[in-house]
Chains A and B, each alone.
Chain A
Amino acid sequence: MKLPSFRLRIALLSAALAGSTLVGFGAVSWFQIYNAKINRFDAELLNQLMRATPNLPPPGEPPVPTASLRREVLSKGSRPSRWQFYEDSLSYAFGTNTKTPIAILVLDTNGNILYQSNSLPADLEVNRLLLNRLQLTPLPPPPNRQPPPLPSNTNPSFEPPPFLRPRPPQFVTEQTPITAWRIGAANFPNVRVAIAVSLQVVNQEMATIRNIFLVSIPGALLLVAVGAWLVSGGALRPIRELTGVIQQVTVKGLDQRIPIGTTDVEFALLIQVFNQMLERLERSFTQASRFSGDAAHELKTPLTILQGELERTLQQVDPGSEVQQRLSNLLDEVRRLSGIMRKLLLLSLADAGKMSLYLVEVDMSELLMEMLEDVEMLAPHLSVQTDFTDGLRLLGDRDLLIQVLQNLFSNAIKYNLPNGWIQIRTHQTPTTLHVTIANASKDIPLSDLERIFDRFYRGDPARTRKIEGIGLGLSLAREIARAHHGDLTLDQTSFGQTAFTLTLPMKLQN
């Protein structure tokens, strides 16, 4: 299972937070900009509509004479040309870009068309929208429109009459298949005017702004995510250091402490607590270790006295007498007891990582030959196959290695089949020596394979009574092998046999 990464989560969360903020901010500002643009547009539209009153602009005074050549749709005296000029002037008012389509519709009070942009008959949709708009624009417009009074009026008490605009025209945005239009209409006493200006330009500008947002927001998000990743990495550094130290804390390294040093205050407490925990652990571990040492000492003294007195008394009674037999049995039990105690002590030393080795040059071939001699004596019915050369020498603790081999060989005899076999193979590489001791056996149940090195564990409980010995041997043998920087493994693939392989380094650094 893949565990979620705290660091990744922090980075993603920051990115999500920054992302939603940026998107919200972008959306709001986009609408603000859009509204501002539309308002400006509307103001201009209003302005232009005001100009459409019969007073403004004065007829016969075309704002841009050159535009008069452009189009003459309706030939109804001077009016059409006036509206023509008006339309042209609109083009200039709105047309930073002359391609901005503009449409106007001018009706008289009876609803007859006075002027129509030449594109309109073709564009029925816009035409309909303009008519709609005109019909929605309330009638009647203010009857009399006074020009603004001159400021040169001398009477200070005279309140100038308010400049009455036509009822403020409503501007709407309407969508046609081609483009969006901003449409405004005004009713004047003698004429009704509706103007539609394409929002193409505004929309294009808004699209540009949107595109800028679309590009810059992911970029900003990436920046935020990377930044959060780096920052959280920095924040997690004390945790990583902690992990590193904890990894080094084995039973051998309980004296490790994490330096508080320049750590932030939040982590200092954690480190402090952890160090305290280590200290308690170390203290209780040394106590336990010393306890087992002391206990062994306390146990060994009475055992030594028992054994010594039994040995001496045994020599003082009649040879072969019943008393001597009993004493002999007692002595055996004392030896068994001290054997168990010795193994337990060795295991506790191994657990504490204090199994110290007295290294001498060990002739493995010679040891194996001795073991084979024992096999021959103990189990003459077994067929023995050997495959090893003379002079397999390595540095090791002779006594402990003998113990390992004796354990493996006695297991190979104990758990063999009637008329079975034992096979000893060695395999030497420049750095390691592998000694494999295999014997015919029943298949070890899968459930036992993993527990075979457990302490006080002995395969089939039914066999426990028949075959003596305690289940410390294999566990201890493996600890000894590991103390030599080697290992003891059970070959799990073979059927009908049990094969243990002892691996030892050829050159052992003490």
Chain B
Amino acid sequence: MLVNILFVEDEAKIANFVRAGLKEQGFVVDYCDNGDQGYLRALDNEYDVIVLDIMVPGKDGLSILKLLRRQGRNAPVILLTARNELDDRLEGLNLGADDYIAKPFFVEELAARIHAVVRRSVSERQNLLCVGPLKLDRITREVTCNHQAIELTSREFNLLEYLMRSPGRVFTRTQILEHVWGYDFNPNTNVVDVCIQRIRKKIDPIDQAVWIESIRGVGYRFRKPDPC
């Protein structure tokens, strides 16, 4: 399924890598650099997700959100906040934003959030994630490997789900840490490595192949299964 995204951001350099990153992840990105234009486009088209930077020329992100909701447009909105993080977040969420992400952010993280809000808004069965022998149900939080159930803790489940979403993509420890534990977790812990070891210990006895690969000095990736 193609996910159509409207991305409103005035900073060209940010827009560049975000658009590139999202396209790599298979999203269709419609981009504009000011609020007035962004609002008109959001009215004219049906987007699956709208990503709004709060500080944009013309109508700011919060005004666009407010107007859209007043027009009865319920497309999921993710806010990009930079300025007064807490206030914007509070106001945005109260205005009916579906999620927010604070600058600076990882595009990977933004992609994850987009997937999450799309899943929530479209009642489509996208809960099942299958890569190689592993099957992961996002709702029941059950994981099977070769149809054999694996018991994972919540941290382990979140980590595995994060890696499995983009097989073949390299995740740094910091990225994983931020997604699974939150941005304020002490960045110098080895908690990611410990958690990966635990997941491996649970999967390896069932399937001999190494699915979670270490990238030395960088982090981890989930092996892309051979096309069959």
Contacts and interface: CB of A to CB of B under 8 A. Distances in A.
Contact of A325 (B11, B107, B217): B217
A336 B82 CA distance: 17
B190 interface: yes
B11 A301 contact: yes
B107 to A, nearest CB: 6
Interface string A343-362: 10110010000111110000
A293 B188 CA distance: 28
A323 to B, nearest CB: 10
A407 interface: yes
A294 B169 CA distance: 35
B218 A324 contact: yes
A240 interface: no
A448 interface: no
Interface string B1-36: 000000000010110011011001000000000000
Nearest to B81: A300
A293 B81 CA distance: 12
Interface stretch (B41-49, B84-92, B123-131, B142-150): B84-92
Contact of B153 (A354, A373, A406, A468): A373
B40 interface: no
Contacts of B21: 308, 311-312
Nearest to A317: B170
Interface string B144-171: 0000000001110000000000000110
A410 interface: yes
Interface residues of B, number: 55
A293 B85 CA distance: 9
Given A314-B172, A324-B170, A346-B86, A306 B219 contact: no
Nearest to A303: B104
A308 B155 contact: no
A338 B184 CA distance: 10
B86 A293 contact: no
A380 to B, nearest CB: 8
Interface in A460-510: 468-469
Given A311-B106, A319-B170, A355-B86, A402 B182 contact: yes
Interface string A322-336: 001101110110111
B87 A354 contact: yes
| Most A C-beta atoms less than 10 A away, residue of B83, B172, B185 | B172
Interface string A272-310: 000000000000000000000110110011011111110
B195 interface: yes
A128 interface: no
Interface of B: 11, 13-14, 17-18, 20-21, 24, 55, 82-87, 89-90, 93, 102-108, 153-155, 169-170, 172-175, 178, 181-191, 194-195, 198, 215-219, 221
Given A325-B218, A335-B183, A402-B182, 16 more contacts: A293-B83, A301-B103, A311-B21, A311-B175, A314-B170, A328-B174, A328-B218, A354-B87, A355-B86, A357-B90, A370-B154, A373-B153, A373-B154, A403-B182, A407-B184, A468-B188
9 contacts: A296-B82, A305-B13, A308-B14, A308-B18, A311-B108, A325-B216, A342-B184, A346-B86, A377-B198
